[in-house]
Amino acid sequence: MIKFCVRLVQRWLPEPFIFAIILTLVAAALAMPICHQTPLEVIDHWGGGVWNLLAFAMQMALVLVCGSALASAPVVKKGISLLAASPKTPVAAIALVTAISAVACWLNWGFGLIVGVIFAKEIARKMPSIDYRLLIASAYSGFVVWHAGLSGSIPLTMATPGEALVKATNGVLTAPVPVSQTILDYHNIIIVLVVMVAIVVTNALMYPKKDVVTVDPALLEEEVPAPKPQGESLTPAQRMEHSRLLSWIVAGVGFTYLIYHLGWAGGSFDLGSVIMLFLFLGVLLHGTPLAYVRAFTSASKGAAGIILQFPFYAGIMGIITGVGASGISFGTVLSNACISVSNATTYPLLTFLCAAVLNMFVPSGGGHWAIQAPIMFAAGADLGVDPGLTGTAIAWGDAWTNLIQPFWAIPALAIAKLDAKDIMGFCLVDLVVTGIVICGGLLFWAM
C-alpha cells in the first residue's frame, strides 16, 4: 500500500503551483453547470477573490521566515541538536519527530509547522542514513490535529461573542460556544490523542526496509555567517550594526507588548502573536541587528511559493463562495447535498466529509466558516445536533485533507527543500488511517 501511494503521488501530483492552477480550472468547470453561472460570472468571482488573502499570505511568509531565522540562532541550534541526538534508530527518530510535531501543532499550528520540520532537518544531519522523505512527511503529518487544538480558528471563532457570530450563523448561535464544548470536550480530546498515537505508529511502520532515500547533503548546508569586524576602526554605522544593546531594546519592547496583550489586555495567542514571538526571540538570540538581518535574508528565500500561490487559492475561494444571478454558490450546493442525506447521528460525520472535500478547494478555516456556518449550524439545530459537535466536525474536515493538500505544506517544503510529491505518498497513508479514527470518533460523539 505504501509503495502504491508513493508511486501514485510521484506520477500524478504536479508541482504545487500547477496543482493550484488545476484546482482553479476544476472549480470553475464545476461552478458553471452546478450553480448555473456564466463564464464571465466565474471569472469575475475569481478576479474579485485573488487579493483577499494578501494579509494572510504575508502572515504565512513571516511565520516561515521568522521561524527559520529563529531556528538558526546559535543557542536554538544547540538545543535542537541535543534533542535530535536522542533517538538511536531511524524508526525511533520518525516516531519522535511525529510526536513533537503533533503536540506542537495542537498547541499552535504556526509554531508546530515550523518547529517540526526544523527538528526533522537536524535529525537528518545527525542520522544521514535516515529516509529523508518519510522524515519530513512525519514532521508535516502532525498538522492534522491543529484545527482541533488550541489555535483552531473555527472553535475560537465560535467562542468569540459578538454580532459577527450571530450574523455568520444566520442567528442560530446567539451566544458563544465555549471551548469546553469543542476543543476541550473529552470526546475531542480522545479523538486527538488516538490520532496522535495512530500517526506515530503508522509513520514508524512505514519506514522502508530497503530502497531508503537519504538526504542530499546539499539540502542541509547552511550559510556561514560573515565574521564581525575587529579593531577600533569601526565606523559609527558598524558599531550600531553590531550593537547588542539595540537588539535588547527592540526585543524588550516586543516582549512588553506581548505580555500586555496576552495578560492584561486579554488577547489570544493567535498567528500574529506567534510571529511576534518568533521575531523578537530571533532578534534577541542572534545577538546583533546585523546578524538577524543576515539570518532573515537567508530564510526569506523559501517564501517564494507562498507569495506565488496564495493569490490563486484566494481566487479559488472567490469561485467557491461567489453567488451569481442564480443566487447560489458552489459551497452552498455542496453543504446542502450533505444535509439532504443526514440524520442526527450521521450529520457530524457527513459534515466532516463535506468540509474535507471543500478544503481541497478552500484550504482556509476562515473560508470554511464563511461558506458552511450559515448552513450547517441551522441544519444541525433542526436535527438536534449540539453546535459544539457541528463546529468541531467542520474543523476536523478542514484539517484532515491538509495531509494531501500542498497549500499548507508550502512553508515546510521550503525549509526542507523538497517537492510536495516527495512526501504526499506517505501522507496519503496517514490520511486513510486518521480518517478512520476521526470518522469513528465523530460517530461515537453523536450517539
Q: Does residue 432 have a pLDDT over 90? A: yes
Mean pLDDT value across residues 59-88: 86
Confidence tier at 154 by pLDDT (50, 70, 90): confident
Mean pLDDT value across residues 129-146: 94
Q: What is the pLDDT of residue 221?
A: 76
Q: What is the pLDDT of residue 371?
A: 79
Mean pLDDT value across residues 40-69: 85
Q: What is the pLDDT of residue 396?
A: 95
Say how far apart CA 54 and CA 46 lie, in whole Å.
15
Say how far apart CA 296 and CA 108 lie, in whole Å.
22
Query: 46, 50, 45, 47: which is closest to 325 by C-alpha?
Result: 45
Residue 386 DSSP symbol: -
Q: Do residues 59 and 310 make contact, with C-beta atoms less than 8 angstroms apart?
A: no
Say how far apart CA 323 and CA 318 lie, in whole Å.
9
Mean pLDDT value across residues 408-418: 85
Q: What is the pLDDT of residue 424?
A: 92
Q: Does residue 374 have a pLDDT over 70? A: yes
Q: What is the pLDDT of residue 203?
A: 97
Confidence tier at 253 by pLDDT (50, 70, 90): very high
Mean pLDDT value across residues 103-126: 88
Residue with the larger pLDDT of the pair 434 and 234: 434
Q: Does residue 282 have a pLDDT over 70? A: yes
Q: Does residue 393 have a pLDDT over 90? A: yes
Q: What is the pLDDT of residue 3?
A: 82
Query: 92, 71, 141, 77: which is closest to 113 by C-alpha?
Result: 141
Q: Residues 197-225: pLDDT tens digits?
A: 999 999 999 999 888 999 888 778 766 66
User: What nine digits make up the cell of 366?
Assistant: 476562515
The residues, ordered by sequence, that sit 6+ positions from 207 with a Cβ below 8 Å of its Cβ are: 90, 91, 94, 131, 134
With the CA atoms of 231, 233, 239 and 242 taken in that order, what torsion angle do they form, in degrees rounded to the nearest 10? Answer: -30
Which DSSP string corresponds to 120-150? Answer: HHHHHHH-TTS-HHHHHHHHHHGGGGGGGST
- Amino acid identity of 313? Y
Mean pLDDT value across residues 234-257: 90
pTM: predicted TM-score of the whole model, two decimal places = 0.84
User: What nine digits make up the cell of 330?
Assistant: 458552489
Helices (H) and strands (E) in the chain, counts: 22, 0
Residue with the larger pLDDT of the pair 15 and 22: 22
Q: What is the pLDDT of residue 224?
A: 63
Say how far apart CA 131 and CA 114 lie, in whole Å.
20
The residues, ordered by sequence, that sit 6+ positions from 375 with a Cβ below 8 Å of its Cβ are: 332, 335, 336, 339
In three-state secondary structure terms, 90 is: helix
Mean pLDDT of the chain: 87
Confidence tier at 284 by pLDDT (50, 70, 90): very high
Q: Does residue 260 have a pLDDT over 70? A: yes
Q: Do residues 64 and 303 make contact, with C-beta atoms less than 8 angstroms apart?
A: yes
In three-state secondary structure terms, 75 is: helix
Residue 270's CB is within 10 A of a number of other CB atoms, namely 16
Say how far apart CA 351 and CA 38 lie, in whole Å.
29
Q: Does residue 10 have a pLDDT over 80? A: yes
User: What nine digits make up the cell of 57?
Assistant: 499570505
Query: 182, 112, 258: which is closest to 445 by C-alpha?
Result: 182
Residue 264 DSSP symbol: I
With the CA atoms of 416, 421, 424 and 426 taken in that order, what torsion angle do they form, in degrees rounded to the nearest 10? Answer: -90
**Segment among 131-135, 182-186, 343-347, 372-376 with least mean pLDDT:** 372-376
Q: Does residue 231 have a pLDDT over 80? A: no
In three-state secondary structure terms, 363 is: coil
Residue 263 DSSP symbol: I
Q: What is the pLDDT of residue 271?
A: 67
Q: What is the pLDDT of residue 392?
A: 95
Mean pLDDT value across residues 250-273: 83
Q: What is the pLDDT of residue 223?
A: 63
Mean pLDDT value across residues 16-35: 89
